[in-house]
Structures are given as C-alpha cells and as structure tokens.
Amino acid sequence: MNKHSGFLREIIFCCLIGFHLIPSVCIAKSTLTDFGLPLFGFVELRLEKEKSPEFNMQLLKKFLSENNDRMFHHLHAINALIGLMKLSEEGKSKELKRFATEFFANQVKISSDSRQTLLDEIYFSGLLLADDKGPDEGKNKSFEELLLKAEDALPGIPEYDLVKGILFPLLRDRPMGYFAPMRPFEDLRRAAVSAPPSSHFHFVLGQAFRALGSQESNLYHAIVAYEKSSSLNPANERLQNTLLGLYMGFHESYQSEGKKEPFWLEETVYKKILVLSPNNPCA
C-alpha cells in the first residue's frame, strides 16, 4: 500500500468514529432501488401486512393522489406494494396483484397525466415480470409492447430512460435471456445528459448506476451523479452524510477485496470529509 492510501485510511477511520458510521459503512445491495424520500424531507408510504388488500390499495391510491406530480413518490409506492406482495400469504398476494394490475392499467386510460401513469404501469409491470421466473414468452412480449408504446409517448424523457435503467438489470435473469440485449448503462447515460436540475433526480440516478454492479465505470458514473446531487443541495446535511457513508462503503469494498482503489475515488472521499468536517484533526 502506498503512503497516500495509508494516509487516506487513517483519515477515514477517524471520520468513521467522528460520524458514528462504523456499523453501517458497508452498504448492502438491495434488489429494489432506494429512492431516498426521507433524505429530501418526504414521508414514505407504510403499507400494513396485517390489513386487507383493499385497505392497502386505498392507502396506495391516497399516497399517489397526494403526490400526483412527484415521480419518485410513485416509484417508491410501487416498491412498497411489491414488497408487501412478497411478504403476504399467497391469497392476499394474488389479490393485491390483481387489484394493482387493474388499477395501473385503468389509470393510463383515465388520468390527465399520461406520462406519469405510463411510467407507473411500466415500473409496476417490470417489477412483476422480474420477480416471475416462469418461461412465459407471452409475458415478455406484452412488456416489450408496453415499452414500445412508451418509446412513442415519452421520446427524450429522462425519467423514462431512468426507469429503463433501473428495470433492465432486474430483467436480465428472465428465462431465455429475452431482455439480456438491453443496455441499461446507456439508458442511464442518456438520462444523465437530459436530467433536470434536481438534487433528488441525480441522487436516484446515482443509485441506479450503483445497482448495475461493481465495475469501475458504473461506480464512476454513480459518484458523478451523487456529486451533482450534492452540489444542487449543499445545505442538506442528511443527504451529505448519506453520500459520505456511501463513499466510505465504496472505499472499504476496495480495501476488503484487496483491489487497487481508483485515485478519483480516494479524492472524492477525502474532499467529502473536508467539506463535512473541516476541523477534523485527522484531515
């Protein structure tokens, strides 16, 4: 290990203690994207496993209605619904699936915001398909038709590219490799080019790049997106500390695997520590 890397490790260890981050420095990978609502001052949807499917669908509809113009609230709510379906006993799960499928399909027909409702249907249908490991080519083709519809309805929309970039890695394990040719990395790069000046959008973009895997190119683009999110919302201490925790997790992953850490990652970690803790005695 060179002198620079050893010095950085000392700084990071001191900072872990100072920020009380040691227990959580290793960031676990989750199947479903964390859209980070609490980081931006929003309340998450809480569905209740003990309640009936009808009750939980009403909670879902109310949450979507109250956040009609907030895409990440919608995607988060769909995550919560899919999670509840997985946790519920078979009868409740099937009923929830039926209610939700009908709801999202009908919303596309009746809603005035066709862009959001189409994104909702794509995300919900994509997550369902990713969780279904049966070799049903008809389901693959139905979802492909939904995507083709979106290509015409949502041209050049960064939110659509982002949703594709989140879904396609999950669909790669479908039998027969139907969605294997998809290129989520390129979808996310297009989303980055046309992204709105939104800290929340760039945070989720970083999450999506990170979910593509541990390759250096994915990590680099994730950090670029995270840093853009940081620069658009510098006063958000919760966001800044979360990003520091993520960066430290990346650093520790390289160390634990005995891999040489990219210089740009070392610099990013060090700069984030200096910004958040300029008087840190280790820095």
The tens place of each residue's pLDDT in the chain, 283 residues long, gives 454 555 455 555 455 444 444 333 333 344 689 999 999 999 999 999 999 999 999 999 999 999 998 999 999 999 999 999 999 999 999 999 999 999 998 887 766 668 899 999 999 999 999 998 888 888 999 999 999 999 988 988 999 999 999 999 999 988 888 999 999 999 999 999 999 999 999 999 999 999 999 899 999 999 999 999 999 999 999 999 999 999 999 988 898 888 888 999 999 988 888 888 776 655 5
Nearest to 262 by CA among 211, 224, 209: 224
Which domains can be identified in the chain, with CATH numbers? 33-198 (1.25.40)
